[in-house]
Amino acid sequence: MSHWLVALFCIVLAVGPAVADDRANLIGTWRLAGGEIEFQDTGERRPLYATDRVGYIIFTLEGRMMGIIEADGRKAPQTDEDRARLLRTMVAYSGLYRLEGDKCVTTVDVAWNPAWIGTDQVRFYKLEGDRLVLTSAWAPSTNFPGKTVRVYVTWTRVK
């Protein structure tokens, strides 16, 4: 066996336990601590929603992720515009997740936005004790047409 194959094999063995540890550390319920959206063209960063936001994300032992984020102050809709505003002020989806290096990939099977169903939602993750930071890849914005954005969301473990 050549030296580079031995080296690759050793790297795979070293990374495997780290991913398993991260998976064990992800399991549980996390409360939203903050979120920002970054615009690729200007570098501007602003709060994910203009008002305070609430949310939870749950990772189960069986490999399911469920998450919801909504802006504070949402009210029962009275008009079509109210209903449209509710869609713009939340994100919710669930599916089976897997870890691939520094990525958490969720294959979505239910979502507030039907366009996400059947897709892989990729988030870069960083665990720091009881703090989890998830960062999306750059993508076209659904709320800011013509803009490319990425989102940073910080969670704290619920105890």
Give the model confidence (pLDDT) of 13-69 as tens digits: 444 445 678 899 999 999 999 999 999 999 999 988 766 678 999 999 999 999 999
- pTM for the full predicted model: 0.81
Q: Are the C-beta atoms of 53 and 78 separated by less than 8 Å?
A: no
Q: Distance (Å, rounded) from C-alpha 22 to C-alpha 5?
A: 26
Evaluate whether 64 touches 27 at the Cβ level (below 8 Å): no
Q: How far apart are CA 13 and CA 17, in angstroms?
A: 7
Helix, strand or coil for residue 29?
A: strand
**Cβ burial, residue 59 (10 Å; 0-12/13-18/19+):** buried
Grouping H, G, I as helix, E, B as strand and the rest as coil, residue 4 is helix
Q: E strands along 40-119, which residues?
A: 45-47, 53-59, 64-71, 90-100, 103-111
Distance of CA 92 to the CA centre of its chain: 10
CATH number at residue 123: 2.40.128.280
Reduced to 3 states (helix: H, G, I; strand: E, B; else coil), residue 115 is helix
Domain count, the chain: 1
Backbone angles phi, psi at 54, to 5 degrees: -130, 155
3-state secondary structure of 28: strand
Look at residues 5, 4, 59 and name the one whose alpha carbon lies nearest to residue 27: 59
Averaged confidence pLDDT in the chain:
87
Nearest partner of 138 among 153, 150, 122, 121, judged by Cα:
150
- State percent of the chain over pLDDT 70: 86
Res. 106 pLDDT band, cuts 50 70 90? very high
Structural domain that includes position 74:
3-157
